[in-house]
Structure 1
Amino acid sequence: MKALGRGALCTAALWGGAALAQMDDRPYEEPDLRSPEAVAVRDRDREQPRADTGIYAQLGGGLEGYTGQLAPEVTPGFSYGVAVGYRPHPFVALELGYSGGLSDIDDRVGLLEDTRGGPDIVRNAGQAVVVGNLTDTRLQPYVLAGIGVDRYNVRNDARGALRGFSDDTSGYVPAGVGLRYQVGQLITADARVNYNFLFDQDFAPGGREPGALDGRYAAVLSLGGTY
């Protein structure tokens, strides 16, 4: 009886091994791309399109003004600019930009004698910034920081009527946040808010040394594309 039992166990073990070997030898089956699971994955990918990389350009306009010591003297004015950048990776971009601004001296502070039309201060600037995108989708919140140079041109009898305001060149550190949406390669919408930390305010009366709260802000809407 014992010999018979051992024989039965051996036969069962051999049969089980043969069955497993047959299962391992079954041919590989291609996944069904029409299955509900595969369709759900494709739909999810389409709902979250990825950002385009490459060279981009944008042009925009908005509002700029000054904080701190200059806020009571210089009224908020029109800001405009153009930027060209390169995005080698969805999360990082390097950008070169030009910006301009048109501002008036507030006549309520008693600095103006000549009230001829046109802006009293014309600003031109160039900057280089690094843009850090917070997502890799086409809707991208981002942050930026860099370095820039301002050129101020004071108009309307600068030496007399404006009493102390003068042409000047100085540097600044731009920092900002924004939100970009890539409709496609031909259209990109961008909303950006910058705060610029000024190295000096020598274009203003007294050549003041600015503190952390003495700077320039700008809010700009832009349109462009990625190529």
Structure 2
Amino acid sequence: MAELYLVRHGQASFGAANYDQLSSLGRQQGQLVGEYFAERNIVFDHVLLGTMNRHRQTAEAIFNGSTAVPTPKEHRGLNEYDFAALFDGLGDEHHELKVLAKERKKDFYKALRQVLLLWMEDRIEGPIPETWSQFQQRVADARNHIQGLKGKVLAVSSGGVMAAMAQQTLGAPREKVISLNLQINNCSFCRYFFNADSFHLATFNSIPYFDRADRQNFITYG
């Protein structure tokens, strides 16, 4: 069977004007992922990325100094949902969620949990880039594309996509995407085995390269 390592991007620039950039720590996280693959002689036949800067920058950090890397190919199905646009689409009746999202980081995640549920229930009345169903479909499209590949595949994506792919693979209720999404670490991976007829989740949110006493500061979520 073929094998997929689906990796979340490194720590991005939470709270900055442009979130879609890796922090210095995020680049270091990516380098540690690359060292992990190199130490185990894990060589990829295919590399897929979302179209976001943080996806490309994470892949660059993973393969820093490596010359034997397949040319990365982009797939928009690996892009994160636009959480800022979801907040912008809220009506006046949910004004408190917009306020909460601008408070502390943990308050943002409390608000995001509620906004994601509203999105799933088609209760965001303002204009948004995509519906929940459309997001689910493009994640499914990315999975179907991967299933057409052979060998070892690396895909760099984001937490929402990783959660949705796990939920779809396991046949779990859609609400599980929220709890899965909000626990995914930066630069963690989900490992899948697959062929043209089946797609199996083997590990979820794995961070073996940070599981050391001197690397606890590398365990981040944003």
Same fold (TM over 0.5): no
TM range (shorter): under 0.3
Report the TM-score when normalising by structure 2.
0.20
Report the TM-score when normalising by structure 1.
0.20
Rg larger in 1 or in 2?
A: 1
- Identify, as 1 or 2, the structure richer in helix: 2
